[in-house]
Amino acid sequence: MTQDGLKQYALSSAASHKTPLYGTAIGTSDLTLQPRSRAILRHCNLVTSEYEMKWDAVFRHSHEPDYAAPDDLVAFARDNGLAFHGHTLWWHESIPASHRESSDKVFAEAAMQHLRVITARYAGQLHSWDVVNEVLEPAHGRDDGLRGTRFLNAMGPDYIGIAFQEAAALDPNATLVLNEMGLEYAHPEAERKRRAMIALLERELSRGTPIACLGIQSHLTAMEQPRHHPDLRAFLREIDGMGLSVMITELDVSDHLCPRDRAERDRVVADTYRAYLDLVLEESTVLAVTTWGLSDDRTWLNAFRPRPDGSPQRPLPLDRALRRKPAWHAIKAALLKAAAHRNSTISD
Ligand code: G3I
């Protein structure tokens, strides 16, 4: 089949019918491997930086920032007509070693300097930014459910509003996203986190914090994620009622609970993708669906959640040889169903 033939079935073509953008997390190593960069261009119309745009990555080698890698990623997207989702300005797990022990005053100044410089550097070039990442942890015991981090200790709970106001001033064109993990699950802790997120968003929006979109990371587990999830539906309706859009920012489906049989695993993973995407796309204005990697060889899950039987995880749309799996077809079907629904509501 010719390149164009593949193009017409690409996920991105599904996403071009007024549905969300579809994309993947990438690194500069993906750009040097021809088959992989070709697969990204064939299937995606958005990319995000998995690691190299983070504060610790930019300051990885010295006290001076090195933007060569994020520059290459943004240039790749620009040169190929892809949208770029910036990830992430402030995250408690991406603080440079040089600032982990600094005083609150020095830390706050350095964090603000990093935010200002990198936001200004890419202003006008990005579709969106994960401005702050993983701000909630109800288990830390605060009434507001905020996670105890260096950002909170150094700047107080206003750090979230400060980050969004600064990013909006420096890049008014980017959609500003509050990105969070663990909102998708069915267990009681997830419901506590969803309630805390609603309260946080109500507080911040009432203060004029320019949050436009909620990022839902969506690291799912096959055989654990429920098909019918009324609490998540209710949560998404509240988010929609606040006038906020949603981005599915780090989607993957761990198969560590699945049997070893490859066909069975792929089926259960695809079914999890389909049920979850159908639910979120029905209840939200989804700007983009991003999988945390495009092919199974690029998943972080082999390190984070290895299978008990030692076989490699199969959590992503393409296999290690960049061939489409049932998960790819599940994502495409969900995007096309959303397109059909959106077109029918537009024409009504
Ligand atoms: O590139 C260097 C390499 O030169 C060096 O030899 C090697 C060993 O030190 O490290 C490599 O960098 C690693 C980088 O991934 C690229 O592989 C970093 O150490 C490692 O910390 C980094 O991990 C990333 C992690 O975030 C921390 O930034 C993962 O790739 C990435 O998948 C993960 O993504 C996070 C999201 O940002 C937030 N949500 C959770 C998600 C999973 O943890």
Q: Is 1 domain-assigned?
A: no
Counting ligand 1 atoms within 8 A of each CB, the residue from 32, 49, 50, 313 with the most, and so the one to mutate, is 50
Q: Find the mean pLDDT for residues 151-162.
A: 98
pLDDT confidence of residue 10? 57
Whose Cα sits closest to atom 9 in ligand 1?
A: 60
Question: Which residue has the least CA distance to atom 20 on ligand 1?
Answer: 51
Size of the chain in residues: 348
CB atoms within 10 A of CB 19: 23
Which pLDDT belongs to residue 11?
Answer: 66
Q: How far is CA 122 from CA 36, 118, 125, in A?
A: 25, 6, 5
Residue 99 resides in a domain: yes
Alpha-carbon distance of 66 to 62, in angstroms, equals: 8
Alpha helix (H) residue ranges in the chain? 3-8, 11-16, 28-31, 34-43, 55-58, 68-79, 104-121, 150-155, 159-170, 188-206, 230-241, 262-283, 301-304, 326-347
The residue whose CA is least distant from atom 26 of ligand 1 is 51
Confidence (pTM): 0.95
Inter-residue contact 111 to 90 (CB < 8 Å): yes
Name the residue type at position 72.
D
Please indicate whether residue 300, judged by its CB atom, sits closer than 6 Å to ligand 1: yes
Question: Which residue range forms the structural domain that includes residue 42?
Answer: 6-347
Confidence of residue 12 (pLDDT cuts 50, 70, 90): low
Whole-number percent of the chain with pLDDT over 70 = 93
30 located within any domain: yes
Residue 326: inside a domain = yes
**CA-to-CA distance for 198 and 242, rounded, in angstroms?**
9
Residue 51 Cα to ligand 1 midpoint, Å, equals 5
Rounded mean pLDDT, 206-212: 98
| Structural domain count, the chain | 1
CA 1 to CA 14: how far, in whole Å? 18
Q: Is 40 exposed, middle or buried (0-12, 13-18, 19+ CB in 10 A)?
A: buried
pLDDT at 5: 27
3-state secondary structure of 105: helix
Could you tell me how far CA 75 lies from the centroid of its own chain?
A: 20
Ligand 1 in reach of 51 Cβ (< 6 A): yes
Residue 1: predicted pLDDT: 40
Q: Which amino acid type is present at position 207?
A: R
Q: How far is the CA of 346 from the centre of ligand 1 (A)?
A: 41
* Calpha distance 152→137 (Å, rounded): 12
Mean pLDDT along residues 203-220: 98
Cα 294 to middle of ligand 1, angstroms:
16
Specify the 3-state DSSP secondary structure of 304: helix
Confidence of residue 340 (pLDDT cuts 50, 70, 90): confident
* The token pair that represents 74 in the structure block: 């943004």
CA–CA separation, 297 vs 322, rounded Å?
9
CATH code for position 194: 3.20.20.80
3 state SS of 57 = helix
Residue 8 has pLDDT above 70, yes or no: no
pLDDT at 310 over 70: yes
pLDDT in tens, 106-121: 999 999 999 999 999 9
Is the pLDDT score of 16 beyond 70? no
Residue 335, classified by CB atoms within 10 Å of its CB into exposed (0-12), middle (13-18) or buried (19+), is: buried
Backbone angles phi, psi at 19, to 5 degrees: -110, 180
In degrees, rounded to 5, the angle at the alpha carbon of residue 197 between the alpha carbons of residues 131 and 193 is 115
Task: Give the tens place of pLDDT for each residue, 254-285.
Answer: 999 999 999 999 999 999 999 999 999 999 99
Q: Is the CB of 28 under 6 A from ligand 1?
A: no
Cβ 54 under 6 angstroms from ligand 1: yes
On whether the CB atoms of residues 201 and 180 are closer than 8 A, the answer is no
pLDDT at 344: 77
Q: Which of 51, 218, 304, 313 to mutate to test the pocket of ligand 1 (most atoms within 8 A of CB)?
A: 51
